[in-house]
Amino acid sequence: MATLNVEVQRFSVTTSSSFESVLSKLEASVSHPDVQAFTREMAASQSPAELERIVQKVVGPTGIMEFTRFNIGEVLRIERGPGSARILRLVIGNPLIMKEMAKHVPDAASYAPVTILIDERPDGVHLSYDRMASYLSPYGSEEALKVARELDDKIEAMLTAAAGQEAYPIQRN
């Protein structure tokens, strides 16, 4: 048995924009395919080129699609009643990006697709994302890290735009 410590970096941006506005902008930046039909098509593909065509057809202009969502806020509202804070977890990604990371670090499949958390707090709406590069860093694969950093940049730019803020240079530790 082996245990690997993974230190995770969380990117977070806070905005005074409404939850609805932030969610609307984020939903517009990712595609929303029929995931079951998409999964069947991928499984039936016969070549890497065919697989790429199938994925590119559904991921849209940002190259990112929504796989599923979990409305944790709705669950909390059952206990706390109407008016409680909203919390939504989106699971998003791109199977081709996931494949490229997993080719070099099979454990990358534990972390992809990625999670975006949108939640209301007293100081505003928070959009949070755990950086893929931080998950993969302990594995020592420069090839996987290159793909992970590109994914991080893409997701962080999407979150920044959804928050209605200007893009900024990505700071890495």
* Contact status, residue 114 vs residue 91, Cβ threshold 8 Å: yes
User: From CA 141, how far away is CA 9, in angstroms rounded?
Assistant: 18
pLDDT tens digits along 75-105: 888 888 887 889 999 999 999 999 999 999 9
pLDDT tens digits along 5-42: 889 999 999 999 999 999 999 999 999 999 999 999 99
**113 prior amide bond cis, ω within 30:** yes
pLDDT score for 166: 55
Whole-number average pLDDT of the chain: 92
| Banded model confidence at residue 133, pLDDT cuts 50, 70, 90 | very high
Percentage above 90 pLDDT, the chain? 82
- What are residue 56's phi and psi, to 5 degrees? -60, -30
- Mean pLDDT of all residues in 135-164: 96
pLDDT score for 168: 47
pLDDT score for 61: 81
Q: Which residues, at least 6 apart from 15, have a Cβ–Cβ distance to it below 8 Å?
A: 22, 124, 125, 127, 163, 164, 165
- Does 61 or 121 have the greater pLDDT score? 121
| Banded model confidence at residue 173, pLDDT cuts 50, 70, 90 | very low
Residue 169 has pLDDT above 60, yes or no: no
Percentage above 70 pLDDT, the chain? 95
**What amino acid is encoded at 161 in this protein?**
A
Q: Please, what are the domains in the chain? A: 10-31+64-162 (3.30.310.70)
**What amino acid is encoded at 160 in this protein?**
T
User: From CA 40, how far away is CA 80, in angstroms rounded?
Assistant: 39
